[in-house]
Copies of this chain bind each other. A is one copy, B any other.
């Protein structure tokens, strides 16, 4: 156990954090306490503008890269690599106000506390720090999710991402131009390097809440298979077409939704299966559907179990094609394997929690995060604070003020140690 390098929080700093969080939560606020600010919409833009002003006022330089990721750069040690910290400001439709947004604000407050700390103590850390707001983490308007960080780490080509369109046919490039968030450079590259990444997020699960633990140390992600399928039948009249003659795409789609649930029940808690998006064509009350497009989502902590579930689903597809007299076509797939976060990062955060007297436990993340991408590029620390009853992607999502404040304390100290090279003892020159 060692003494924290940064001063503990003050009641004034906590009040400032909570006031800022309340101010930020007003953008795209929904009546039931959530927010709706899907990627590159007017409400997303308003939230970005608010954050940009906050950062600029405190001496950060705000820049965007070519996929609309927004960075607040604070150069403390000219020429040194940057430690990034952040999350995302975009939300689901009628989403919660904590998901992503808390992590961005926590990073901003943590970085700003460090700025003041170094100024007051006259010290210089080995790295610089940057706050990041990743573009389109949610994936509700433009697929796939975690788009900005995927482009950043090179897992998704920039041109593919920019050409992606929403349901109205608007491309990512157009949407970013509309809100003035498309930058002209990569921001980071040969001259400006990234050393490490830290992110804090609400848990989106119940483990911390149920066990009364304040801090989650994320050691690995669940693997996920996501794919879009089309169920293709034949259009007909609901009154006139005999049941035996029907090729009802919606009946085929319903059998798939039910099969997904049966699969989850068969494999137990280690498999999550979902269909959250399903669109019927032509979707007229008296017409047997000719086509249904669906987005399927299978997740597991085990790559092997996920592969087994995927095989089982594929076999079920073949049965459903016969049962409903439809064709099932795979249109698009997006997969991430289950992977570990660097053990050094988990240990660093555990030590910080212990030094600050904060209870912590190892947790896995079932949801994807921008850190899921970043950990493939640089040493990454992923922290969770409790979410009451694990509610997520819903307006009722809630985290207590005390946990929000403690999370920023832990992030601040963790970042301080990362800036001093805790995870990068020999920063690349």
Q: What distance in Å separates the Cβ of A253 from its nearest Cβ neighbour in chain B?
A: 7
Q: Given A282-B92, A285-B276 in contact, is the A240-B390 Cβ separation under 8 Å?
A: yes
Interface residue? A286 (CB, 8 A):
yes
- Interface size, A (range): 35 or more
Which residues on the B side are within 8 Å of A273 (C-beta)? Answer: 243
- How long is the Cα–Cα vector from A256 to B258 in the complex, in angstroms? 10
Q: Closest residue of chain B to A144, judged by CB?
A: B285
Interface residue? A278 (CB, 8 A):
yes
Interface residue? A302 (CB, 8 A):
no
Q: Given A236-B392, A393-B237 in contact, is the A285-B145 Cβ separation under 8 Å?
A: yes
Tell whether, in the assembled complex, residue B297 and residue A286 are in contact, meaning their CB atoms are under 8 Å apart. Answer: yes
Interface residue? A139 (CB, 8 A):
yes
Interface residue? A269 (CB, 8 A):
yes
- How long is the Cα–Cα vector from A279 to B287 in the complex, in angstroms? 14
Tell whether, in the assembled complex, residue B282 and residue A140 are in contact, meaning their CB atoms are under 8 Å apart. Answer: yes
Interface residue? A213 (CB, 8 A):
no
Q: Given A236-B394, A269-B242 in contact, is the A297-B285 Cβ separation under 8 Å?
A: yes
Interface with B: A9-17, A175-183, A288-296, which one?
A288-296
Which residues on the B side are within 8 Å of A254 (C-beta)? Answer: 253-258
Which residues on the B side are within 8 Å of A93 (C-beta)? Answer: 282, 284, 287
Q: Given A251-B261, A284-B277, A285-B226 in contact, is the A239-B140 Cβ separation under 8 Å?
A: no
Q: Closest residue of chain B to A226, judged by CB?
A: B285
Interface residue? A370 (CB, 8 A):
no
Tell whether, in the assembled complex, residue B391 and residue A236 are in contact, meaning their CB atoms are under 8 Å apart. Answer: yes
Q: Closest residue of chain B to A282, judged by CB?
A: B93
Q: Given A239-B297, A367-B240 in contact, is the A92-B284 Cβ separation under 8 Å?
A: yes
Interface residue? A245 (CB, 8 A):
yes
Which residues on the B side are within 8 Å of A269 (C-beta)? Answer: 242-243
Q: What distance in Å separates the Cβ of A243 from its nearest Cβ neighbour in chain B?
A: 5
Q: What distance in Å separates the Cβ of A330 from its nearest Cβ neighbour in chain B?
A: 15
Q: Closest residue of chain B to A234, judged by CB?
A: B394
Q: Could you mark each residue 195-232 of chain A with 1 if its beta carbon is under 8 Å from any beta carbon of chain B, else 0?
A: 00000000111100000000000000010101000000
- How long is the Cα–Cα vector from A290 to B392 in the complex, in angstroms? 12
Interface residue? A125 (CB, 8 A):
no
Say which residue of B143, B239, B272, B288 sits within 8 Å of A368 (CB atoms): B239
Q: Could you mark each residue 25-36 of chain A with 1 if its beta carbon is under 8 Å from any beta carbon of chain B, else 0?
A: 000000000000
Tell whether, in the assembled complex, residue A265 and residue B245 are in contact, meaning their CB atoms are under 8 Å apart. Answer: no
Say which residue of B237, B261, B264 sits within 8 Å of A367 (CB atoms): B237
Interface residue? A48 (CB, 8 A):
no
- Interface residues of A, Cβ cutoff 8 Å to B: 92-94, 138-140, 143, 145, 203-206, 222, 224, 226, 234-243, 245, 248, 250-251, 253-258, 261, 264-265, 269, 272-280, 282-290, 295, 297, 299, 366-368, 390-395
Can you list 6 A-B contacts (CB < 8 A)? A94-B235, A140-B285, A243-B272, A243-B273, A254-B254, A276-B280
